[in-house]
Chains A and B, each alone.
Chain A
Amino acid sequence: MDAKKSQKIAFGVLLATTLAVVLPVLFIIMIIIKEGITAINWRFLTTMPSNGMRSGGIFPAIVGTIYLVLLSVAIALPVGVMAAIYLNEYAKDNILTRIIKLSIVNLAGVPSVVYGLFGLGLFVIFLKFGVCLLSGALTLAIMELPVIITTSKEALSTVPLSFREVSLSLGVSRWQTIRYAVLPHALPGIMTGTILSISRIAGETAPILFTAAAFYLPRLPGSLFDQIMVLPYHLFIISTQIPNMPSKSTYGTALVLLILVLMMNFTAIVVRTYFRMNKKW
């Protein structure tokens, strides 16, 4: 076979495999939109489920998901960023630091259902929070930590060393240097990482299964110690536990979840692009 022909074949195979990656994504989105779009209307988004969830809306699940995600980020972000600052700015290369770094890597590899069991054991039972918003948010926060720490550390390490040197050389203390000469320039990277971690946990079911999620609630959560309805768990229930569930509601719920997550990813991309355009060092 001559070189040109084999090149054509090789490129053809490469293109085909690449398309094979794109196709499932397109199919998923297409099917969900096609089946679910008719379910989506103002009533579906803003009312309580009724008739054993077969009709009515998914309002409490949307609200629950947003509460859960925001609370978990509010917990994980400060902890994660401070850990990243410690690791990137202060930590010397010693045994302790290596153990911490190894733990972070391993934390990222723990299966999500294990987080769920851990949350059940620690927050729900041992700390007696019960199955509630707080337990779920704490469980998800632990799950987010590795992503937030890793991306924040990355963002901090891209701030040039010269910023630190200049600031220190002006008699600015080390902490003030981090606060005023490093952190502001790392913020876009930290934000991007955080938004991505949100979109990752927004769709998680296993960690909240035993820690936060309720099968059905006729009202919105009123405190941190209330159970909540959440979109991914609601989707699991209506697709497996409820007989005679109209499929358009199932797909409609999936569509809402998908849009929520895609919106967050999109925001992350916008934030990153905006700051990259303005970054000049």
Chain B
Amino acid sequence: MPAKNKHVITTEKLNLFYGDFQALRDIDLAVSSHRITAVIGPSGCGKSTLLRVFNRINDIVEGVRITGKVFHGSDDIYGPDADVDSIRKRIGMVFQRPNPFPLSVYENVVFGLRIHGRVDKSVLDGIVEESLKSVLLWEELKDRLNRSALNLSLEQKQRLCIARSVAVKPDIILLDEPCSTLDPMATLKIEELMVELKTKYTIIIVTHNMQQAARVSDDTGFMLLGDLVEFGKTSQIFTSPKEKMTEDYITGRFG
């Protein structure tokens, strides 16, 4: 079976409610493997909520209710037999604000591994090197692995957070507005990194920055008020959108 263009995340009639408020409406979406899928839309449209459905991190919010189906490959991740922890191991997440633990660079990268029982020093050393290399941070930090991660620059912190996710070897990485606290130069570097990473991982990124979506993504979905208005190849969405709403948004008429 060809690995490319296989659908790794599929949703069917996905609805999500926070108490009485419906945040997602009948979302049908299929995310292809080893591509960058961007979800864009104005604030409050439900794009972050959608992303947080994929690794079930929304579970910790009180009063969340979900109907419909979400598949990771062929596994129903909200099914009765779903193992939340192993889903999250396979679907990593990087958050909006760079949020390393107040630990050393090394301990940040191995945080998940240590708890998952990998304690062999040489194995951990290898994974730290590999993970930091994959986010292009190894050369900068190889002599500072035992320094606190809190002293890094914002961009380095965000790379470290990506490395921390990569270290547990997921196959999908969810990025929730990963550049919103970074300056334009740092943003550009993280974007280059994403393109680098898609050879190994499937990437889903939520962003309110349309240029960013246009620059890095292969597929784009546009959301508005909980609806997935349009989903397609990025080149098509940004040049010849089918929906009037999408066109209005990407041409800056609202948002």
* A→B interface (CB under 8 Å): 92-93, 160, 162-173, 176, 180-181, 185, 279-281
Contacts and interface: CB of A to CB of B under 8 A. Distances in A.
B112 A171 contact: yes
Nearest to A281: B102
Contacts of B62: 92-93
A173 B85 contact: yes
A173 B87 CA distance: 11
Contacts of B159: none
Contacts of A165: 57, 60, 93, 95, 99
B240 interface: no
Contact of A166 (B60, B86, B115, B164): B164
Contacts of B95: 162, 165-166, 169
A160 B57 CA distance: 16
A251 to B, nearest CB: 47
B168 interface: yes
B72 interface: no
A165 B56 CA distance: 11
B198 interface: no
B121 interface: no
Interface residues on B, range: 20 to 34
A164 B57 CA distance: 10
Interface string B19-63: 000000000000000000000000000000000000101001010
B88 interface: yes
Contact of A169 (B55, B86, B116): B55
Contact of B111 (A160, A170, A173, A185): A170
A191 to B, nearest CB: 17
Given A185-B102, A281-B150, A168 B111 contact: no
A166 B85 contact: no
B115 A176 contact: yes
B85 A172 contact: yes
Given A93-B62, A165-B60, A280-B150, A170 B97 contact: no
B92 interface: yes
A181 B57 contact: no
Given A173-B85, A280-B102, A167 B111 contact: yes
Given A169-B92, A170-B168, 5 more contacts: A164-B60, A165-B99, A168-B57, A169-B165, A185-B102
Nearest to A93: B62
B101 interface: yes
A168 B60 contact: yes
Interface string B90-123: 1011010101011000000001101110000000
A92 B64 CA distance: 13
Contacts of A171: 85-90, 112, 116, 168
Contacts of A279: 102
